[in-house]
């Protein structure tokens, strides 16, 4: 079955620390990859997405992610986190080359950034 795994359920960092959140997906042919962020009490917002081309994708708020096809991974990174990055982060994968795009989500990673 198609699945998405996020390695860390909870991450605690100090401000200015570097962040890397892991995401692996099961093989399923063509994939489109997403990272969403959910700030406390809010809905999901798209951080970045990968469809094709340069495997290093830059998103909003200084986030980036790298698609490594051989490892089925799409890890999220940020060089220096801020207190305002405290949120839950979801990796999501769309399996398929066209038509209906069902998103399969990972379980999420809660990030807490301390001043």
Partner 1 sequence: EAQVTQNPRYLITVTGKKLTVTCSQNMNHEYMSWYRQDPGLGLRQIYYSMNVEVTDKGDVPEGYKVSRKEKRNFPLILESPSPNQTSLYFCASSFGGRDYGYTFGSGTRLTVV
- Applying CB under 8 A, which residues contact partner 1? 4, 6, 9, 32, 34, 36, 42-46, 49, 51, 90, 92, 94, 96-108
- Relative to beta strand 64-68, strand 31-38 is unpaired
Sign, CA torsion 70/99/91/26: negative
The residue (of 22 and 96) whose beta carbon lies closer to partner 1 is 96
The residue (of 100 and 115) whose beta carbon lies closer to partner 1 is 100
| Least spacing, CB of residue 75 vs partner 1, in Å | 17
Q: Which residues is 77 bridged to in the sheet?
A: 20, 64
| Least spacing, CB of residue 81 vs partner 1, in Å | 22
- Relative to beta strand 10-14, strand 109-114 is parallel
Nearest-angstrom CA–CA distance, 67 and 21: 13
| Least spacing, CB of residue 59 vs partner 1, in Å | 11
Residue 2 CA, chain-centre distance (Å), reads 17
The residue (of 36 and 74) whose beta carbon lies closer to partner 1 is 36
The residue (of 73 and 109) whose beta carbon lies closer to partner 1 is 109
């Amino acid at each position: 079955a198609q699945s998405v795994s996020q390695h860390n359920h909870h991450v605690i960092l100090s401000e200015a620390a570097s962040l890397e959140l892991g995401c692996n997906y099961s093989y399923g042919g063509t994939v489109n990859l997403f990272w969403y962020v959910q700030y406390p009490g809010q809905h999901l917002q798209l951080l970045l997405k990968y469809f094709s081309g340069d495997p290093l994708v830059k998103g909003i708020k200084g986030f980036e992610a790298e698609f490594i096809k051989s490892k089925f991974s799409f890890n999220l990174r940020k060089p220096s986190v801020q207190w305002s990055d405290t949120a839950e982060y979801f990796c999501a994968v769309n399996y398929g080359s066209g038509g209906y795009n069902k998103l399969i989500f990972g379980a999420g990673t809660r990030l807490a950034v301390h001043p």
